[in-house]
Amino acid sequence: MSDRKYFGTDGIRGRVGEAPITPEFMLHLGWAAGQAFKRDGQRNSVLIGKDTRLSGYMFESALEAGLAAAGVDVKLLGPMPTPAIAYLTRTFRASAGIVISASHNPHHDNGIKFFSAAGTKLDDALEAEIERWLDQPIRVCESSELGKASRIDDAPGRYVEFCKSTVPNEFTLEGMTIVLDCAHGATYHVAPKVFRELGAKVHVIGADPDGLNINLNVGSTHLEALKEAVAARKADLGIAFDGDGDRVLMVDRDGSEIDGDELLYIIASQRQSAGTLKGGVVGTLMTNLGVELALRDRDIPFERAKVGDRYVMERLVERGWVLGGEGSGHLVIRDCTTTGDGIVSALQVLLAVWRSGQTMAELRQGMTKLPQTMINVRVVQRFDPLARQDIRDAVAAAEKQLGTAGRVLLRASGTEPLIRVMAEGRDAAVIRRVAADLAAVVEASKA
C-alpha cells in the first residue's frame, strides 16, 4: 500500500483540521466514493455511521454533500459501532457503508472506514479507484439525479437483535455479573442492551459520551478503570470495547487482563474440543508466538497475515477457515459476521465458557504468552524501515542473537506516523534490550 496517498491499514485517519482530515477533503472523498461505488442502471445508496466524536457531525455533513453530488442516496445511522455499519450495509442492500471514526484514538483524531456491499473491508483495488477519483475535480450530476438523504431510526434495535442472533437460543448469561466499558464510544447505547437481554447483571462504565471524552482513560486501551470496577462490583468479568466497537479485551474476576490473542485461543480450543472448529486459525505478524506454539500443541493449523483485520479476513477466505484475529482485540469470526465485532466476539468467548463448563482462567491455561516488547518510534513521514541498509543490518544481528528462541518485526503503522519495533522471545530482559537497540537504530535513521 506504499503507493497510496490517503489510505492506510484501516482506512484514512489523522488529526482533525489537518490534511486530509478536513471538511473540504471529506466533501471530495464523498464524491469520489460515490463515483467508485455507483453502478449503472440502479439507484445507489450508501450508509453513513459514526462514533461519538464531536467532529463526526461536521464530516458526516461533508460526506453527505459529496455523495449527493455524485448522485448517490445517503442513509444516516448516527452513532453506531463500526461492525453495525457493516451489518446494516448488507441488510439494507446498500452499495457501501462509511464509518466516521478513529477507533481507539483520542477525540482530536478522526478518520473514515469503508465497507463493501457485502459488509467487508474494501480490497486494495477499490481503495485505489477511490484515490483515482480524488485526483479528479468534483463534477455535480444533473439536478434531477442528485442523491437524497434519510435517517434510519431503528438502527440500534436492528443491531442488538443481530448480535443476539449470533449465539444459540438456549444460551444464557443468567447468574453472571459483568462490567462493560464502552469507552464513551459507539457501543454505549447498544452493548448494555445485548448483555442484559441475554440475562446478565450488567454494570456499565464509559457510557456518557460528550464528544470529547471518547477513549479517555477508559476502553480497551485503558483497562485500569475496568479492573477497579470489576473488583468493586465483585463481578465475574469485565469487557472493554474501543471507541468504535470493533475491538474487545477482557478482565477476569481476579483482575488479570485477557487480550485478543488469548481470546482467540479460548474460542479456538473450545471449538476444537466440541468438534466445531472449521480449519485453522489466522493471526497476524504481531500475534504472540505463544499462540502459535499453543495451537501447534493442539494440532490446530496457524498462519500469519499482514497486520489489519482486513488481511486476516482475506487469508481466512483463501483458506476456507472461520477464526482469526489480533492481540489488540480485533477478532474475525466468519460464521458470525463479516468483520471485526467487539460485541459478537465477546459473546463467542462467553459461549465458549458456557459450553465448556470451565472458567476463563481454566480455558486460558493451555497457552503461555511469551514476553513481547513494542516500541513506537514517531517519524515525520512513514517509511519502509527495511528499505534502509543500516536497519536491515541491525535486524539481521538481532535475529542472529535470538536464534530460534524469538523473533523481531519492524513495520510502519498503517494509521499513524510511527515505525513499530517489536521483539519477542523467551527471555524478557534480552527482548527488552533487543527492542531498545533496534528502536535506537530506527530513531537515528529517520533523520
SS3 425: strand
**43 Rama class: left (phi>0) / alpha (psi -120 to 50) / beta:** beta
Inter-CA distances, 379 with 18, 410, 422, Å: 17, 14, 16
Output the CA–CA distances (angstroms, integers) from residue 63 to 27, 181, 244, 399, in the order listed. 5, 30, 19, 47
Q: Are 264 and 281 in contact (CB under 8 A)?
A: yes
Bridge partners, 255 (sequence order): none
Q: Characterise 350 by phi-psi region: left (phi > 0), alpha (psi -120 to 50), beta (else).
A: alpha
Give which of 354, 380, 148, 146 is closest to 236, Cα–Cα.
354
Peptide bond into 20 cis (omega under 30): yes
Instruction: Round to whole Å and give the CA distance between 188 and 182.
Output: 5
Annotated catalytic residue, options 95, 103, 116, 269: 103
Residues forming beta bridges with residue 146, ordered by sequence position: none
Question: What nine digits make up the cell of 150?
Answer: 434519510
- Active site includes 103? yes
* H or E, element range at 86: helix 82-91
Pair type for strands 149-151 and 73-79:
parallel
Q: Give the C-alpha separation, 105 to 216, whole Å.
A: 9
- The letter for the amino acid at 301 is P
Joined together, the cell numbers standing for residue 202 give: 450488567
Q: Looking at the annotation, which residues are catalytic?
A: 103
